[in-house]
Amino acid sequence: MRISANSLSITLLGCCCLLPANSSAQEAVLDAKPASLTYSQLVWSDEFEGEELDRSKWSIEVNAFGGGNQELQIYTDRQENVRVEDGNLVIEARNDKAAVSGTEREYSSGRVRTKKRGDWKYGRIDVRAKVPAGKGIWSAIWMLPTDEKYGGWAASGEIDIMEMRGQDPNIVLGTLHYGDNWPRNTHSGDQYKLEAGSFADDFHVFSIVWKPGQIDWLIDGKRYQTQTKWSTAGADFPAPFDQEFHLLLNVAVGGNFLGSPDATTEFPRQMQVDYVRVYQ
């Protein structure tokens, strides 16, 4: 959740605050068979095989004030922050005092989205990515409603496919936000913890399978969480997750969700995305 310091306007960065997952329940789910591939027809994809970002599929946010949540970065469309390189989309956070519209901030980074270029109601979304470690580095793969039919955040919902706090690089979070306009909103979700290593070591496939009244979260094809209960003010279930949503990818720096970088945080830090595939 992003709240402007000067107004009540709200933008978002997949903010979530979760209780620790029940490890025994999680292990039981992880031992289960992979979730059914209900959706098998590829309807949208980007393999990032060209020399630059495909602007028919993505837009790049330029934002001199970051993303809210007391985050420290400035979002730019510079090659230093967003580019296609060696078959991957690279979103790079830097400590380089970049400036946009006369505003300079200590850190810069990138955020891309598919709004009005890729918008879906139900389906399976797969994102194969390697995400950066480091205190104060916040990577996110998430979705927002294309049309806020039920009201402002979070009445119209938010789906966080994956978030990772860089100081906890072996844990990722999957979360839903819903309920009502802020501050009457709520959220629910769970976490996935690697038994060894970190998500910064190698690529993993982060997925949701989104059906009417049910959303599953998967890591490398294994389901670790299912949600079937949510709500929104003024509409019946399965609202708000019965409308078209679009995808966002970004790396934030600092903020009240995870704290600021420190002397141990090395820059630049990269999220590398091998592909995005959407099936219906």
Sheet strands (E) in 135-185 = 137-145, 158-165, 171-178
Residue 107 near residue 95, CB atoms below 8 Å: yes
Question: Does residue 149 come out as left (phi exceeding 0), alpha (psi in the -120 to 50 range) or beta?
Answer: alpha
Q: How far from chain centre, in Å, is Cα 223?
A: 18
Residue 241 near residue 178, CB atoms below 8 Å: yes
Of 116, 125, 112, 122, nearest to 146 by C-alpha is 116
Half-sphere exposure of 170 (CA within 13 A, CB side): 6
Check 51, 158, 195, 244 and give the catalytic one: 158
Of 164, 243, 227, nearest to 200 by C-alpha is 164
Check 80, 92, 163, 266 and give the catalytic one: 163
148 as an active site residue: the answer is no
80 as an active site residue: the answer is no
Helix intervals (H) in the chain? 23-30
Q: Would you mind telling me the total number of residues written for the chain in this entry?
A: 280
Query: What is the bridge-based pairing of β-strands 171-178 and 111-113?
Result: unpaired
3-state secondary structure of 28: helix
3-state secondary structure of 142: strand
Q: What is the sign of the dihedral through the CA atoms of 148, 8, 14 and 142?
A: positive
Residue 98 identity (one-letter amino acid): A
Could you give the CA distance from residue 222 to residue 216 in angstroms, rounded to a whole number?
Answer: 10
Residues annotated as catalytic (active site), given as ranges:
158, 163
